[in-house]
Chains A and B, each alone.
Chain A
């Protein structure tokens, strides 16, 4: 599935997929061109379908643990397999909360500063995903040895696709 911005015809990019804790997901997409955004709210069946495929929205950096899906979904697993206890499994779920710090907080943020305009733009991101989006911009800036995050840097990050971390090419 792909989402197009109805304002500027740009493909929306996945910014965050978060477990709502009730068997549903909140998947946030943003427009790299005009700052439009949507939250996609999946129902339990859709959530389960994605998990049953053994994939994680937004990708993963390491291979999943062995038999992850089998262990998570088997109703009566043998205890030595370390099965998750909750329906659908807790292993490898999308993060429920953002671990990233607020702007200006934490040791890594000391080396970076945000211009007031950039901060204002960041504040328009829904609070729910703001820390994650912030950390993505900061990672982008650090990789390029930038000390100040301005709206221009934010635009570059979005255009680069690095913000979402997805590859190019037709799937």
Chain B
């Protein structure tokens, strides 16, 4: 940044006033625009019954697969469901839900979401870009990417939430990327978040990493609905099981999804496992989690 005066000023004696002593914003009107952004987001989400985020803090725990099955389970129980894939670096929800990248419709009122299995509406940044296997990349000055990239990611998520024609939904699920560092963005973007589910798997390393996210969510005051243990039974003799971990960290334990290779294989089919296998152990566990989530959302503050 550089600045040049039109002529040499004679300086005022004494220290200048400080930021908070000066009234107004100098005409930038940035804060006013940020407030308007928030109002537009709230207006869009006014038609959504409950926004529920699914996070983990650890990659590879099956969070997105769980989110897709959670969405499908909710739809099976008659709910209108949308899913925002907030994982900008590795979006996968549209694949898990079989939402084909049909020609997109972007009008003055926003983007028409893609439709996946069970009528679930889905939006992810991969649906907006050409070439399905291309990495999601942003353009800007290459010498200063770190300066603006995080701000841009937040803006993109806000726009995907605000500018998608979700319509009337009972549930909007937000599949967040791995890493506790994304939770503050979630808290800022979605002050009306109704529930945050944390997904973990057996194993000390995963649990330690997931615990960081739980603590971060608690510090941020996010509405922790509970811990879900995915791939339960994978380690037959875990040092700490899911219920114990939840107790230790002071959050509700929502339930376990038993390890089932068929569940993992379903990821490539574009059809959530629970839709066709609700009577299997994993399917029953998923439907139980769906019911518990609905109970918590109904019982929680609106």
Contact = CB atoms under 8 A, between A and B. Distances in A.
Contact of B28 (A14, A36, A48, A69): A14
Nearest to A49: B148
Interface in A63-89: 63, 65-71, 73-82, 87-88
A169 B23 contact: yes
15 contacts: A9-B12, A40-B2, A41-B4, A43-B1, A45-B141, A53-B34, A66-B111, A67-B110, A67-B111, A69-B159, A73-B138, A73-B139, A74-B129, A168-B24, A169-B23
Contacts of A99: none
A15 B29 CA distance: 12
Nearest to B137: A75
Interface in A31-50: 36-49
Contact of B163 (A37, A38, A66): A66
A152 interface: no
A21 B33 CA distance: 24
Interface in B202-236: none
A6 B9 contact: yes
A164 B23 CA distance: 14
Interface in B145-195: 147-149, 151-152, 155-156, 158-160, 163
A39 B3 contact: yes
Given A36-B6, A59-B32, A170-B24, 5 more contacts: A4-B16, A23-B141, A59-B29, A67-B110, A167-B29
Given A38-B6, A60-B33, A76 B151 contact: no
The 9 A-B residue pairs with the shortest CB-CB distance, nearest first, are A45-B144, A59-B29, A14-B27, A66-B163, A44-B141, A164-B27, A52-B152, A75-B137, A52-B151
Contacts of B22: 2, 4, 11
A126 B6 contact: yes
A74 B25 CA distance: 31
Contacts of A39: 3-4
Nearest to A53: B151
Contact of B138 (A9, A12, A74, A168): A74
Contacts of B1: 40-43, 46
A81 B28 contact: no
A96 interface: no
A149 interface: no
Interface of A: 1-9, 11-15, 23, 29, 36-49, 51-60, 63, 65-71, 73-82, 87-88, 124, 126, 161, 164-171
Interface string B109-130: 1110000000000000100111
Nearest to A27: B28
Nearest to B140: A48
A81 B5 contact: no
| Highest count of chain A CB atoms <10 Å: which of B16, B32, B141, B160 | B141
Given A40-B2, A40-B3, A63-B36, A14 B26 contact: yes
Interface stretch (B79-87, B100-108, B262-270, B276-284): B100-108
A62 to B, nearest CB: 10
B5 A38 contact: yes
A80 B104 contact: yes
Contact of A41 (B3, B128, B152, B156): B3
A55 B33 contact: yes
Interface in B84-106: 101, 103-104, 106
Nearest to B150: A52
B139 A5 contact: no
Contacts of B26: 1-3, 11-14, 29, 166
Contacts of A170: 20, 23-24
A26 to B, nearest CB: 10
Contacts of A2: 19, 22, 24-26
A1 to B, nearest CB: 7
